[in-house]
């Protein structure tokens, strides 16, 4: 009799343990399905295992730097995806979208030390390829923002019909608040005066909401980095939707971009 009671006690403990596990799994499932953070985490796993989501659009492009090293530009031309799942793919049954623009890192900082060693090669190859050419400067927090602007002007030889100059303001930059806004304004005003058009600002959705979603920057176009979310959360002229693209001609991963509003946006983003 005592043995039966002991077994019943173990059975009840086991049932409570199973119920606890089920409750935790249900809670985790709810968090993944119904919260923004959970949705991003779910999409991140999908991207790792089945490929990044491919937003619909007409105009796609890539951005490159020294991380991609020697690119075989004669092989670069298309982005593969699976039409049923809208996931990036290079497998059998893949459909393709033409790459219509390429943006290369040009400069960083003010003294040339961190300028991209592959820029000149990429610049010449992109121009030769027939893709629309763009170039960007990475803003650094060490001051000398006027010199940073002049370094970009000195290095880049953008022409009429190229994509307007781009300032890359990374999400982890140590400049904050008014200091960040002043630095960005100083750079874009100098470059705007030289090229006769407003530069494009690259940043993340988080930093856009904190620093740039206001009247002060209302007249500028933004290139927004937003991954793991199939719906663009802010207004953007260019959407960098993944950093895990794989295309012919490039070893390893590459950033992929789309223009949410298509060909008209591309024309709007060019130097007049």
Burial 188-223 (b: 16+ CB within 10 A, else e): bebbbeebebebbbbbbbebbeebbeeeebeebbbb
Query: The tokens of 215 are what?
Result: 């009247």
CA distance linking residue 237 with residue 201, whole number of Å: 10
* 220 close to 199: Cβ distance less than 8 angstroms: yes
H or E segment to which residue 203 belongs: strand 200-204
Task: Say how far residue 164 (Cα) sits from the centre of its chain.
Answer: 18
Let me know if 170 is a catalytic residue. yes
Q: Provide the 10 A C-beta neighbour count for residue 44.
A: 14
CA distance linking residue 145 with residue 110, whole number of Å: 7
Identified catalytic residue from 120, 170, 189, 246: 170
DSSP symbol at 232 = -
Q: Pairing state of beta strands 87-88 and 132-138?
A: unpaired
The phi, psi pair for 87, rounded to 5°, reads: -115, 145
CA distance linking residue 257 with residue 243, whole number of Å: 9
Point out the residues that are catalytic. 170
């Amino acid at each position: 009799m005592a043995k039966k009671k002991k077994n019943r006690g173990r059975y009840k403990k086991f049932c409570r343990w199973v119920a606890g596990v089920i409750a935790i799994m249900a809670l985790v499932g709810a968090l993944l399905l119904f919260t923004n953070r959970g949705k991003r985490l779910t999409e991140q796993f999908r991207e790792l295992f089945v490929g990044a989501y491919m937003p619909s659009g007409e105009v796609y492009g890539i951005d490159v730097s020294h991380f991609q090293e020697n690119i075989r530009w004669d092989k670069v031309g298309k982005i593969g995806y699976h039409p049923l799942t809208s996931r990036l793919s290079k497998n059998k049954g893949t459909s393709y979208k033409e790459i219509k623009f390429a943006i290369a890192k040009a400069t960083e900082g003010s003294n040339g030390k961190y300028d991209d060693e592959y820029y000149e090669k990429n610049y010449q190859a992109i121009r030769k390829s027939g893709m629309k050419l763009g170039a960007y400067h990475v803003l650094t927090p060490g001051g000398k923002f006027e010199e940073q602007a002049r370094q970009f002007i000195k290095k880049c030889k953008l022409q009429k019909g190229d994509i307007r100059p781009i300032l890359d303001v990374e999400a982890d930059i140590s400049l904050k608040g008014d200091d960040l806004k002043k630095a960005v304004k100083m750079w874009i005003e100098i470059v705007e005066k030289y090229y006769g058009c407003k530069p494009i600002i690259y940043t993340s959705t988080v930093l856009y909401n904190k620093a740039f979603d206001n009247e002060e920057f209302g007249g500028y176009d933004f290139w927004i980095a937003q991954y793991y979310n199939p719906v663009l959360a802010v207004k953007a002229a260019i959407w960098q939707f993944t950093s895990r693209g794989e295309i012919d001609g490039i070893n390893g991963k590459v950033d992929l971009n789309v223009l949410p509003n298509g060909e008209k946006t591309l024309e709007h983003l060019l130097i007049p």
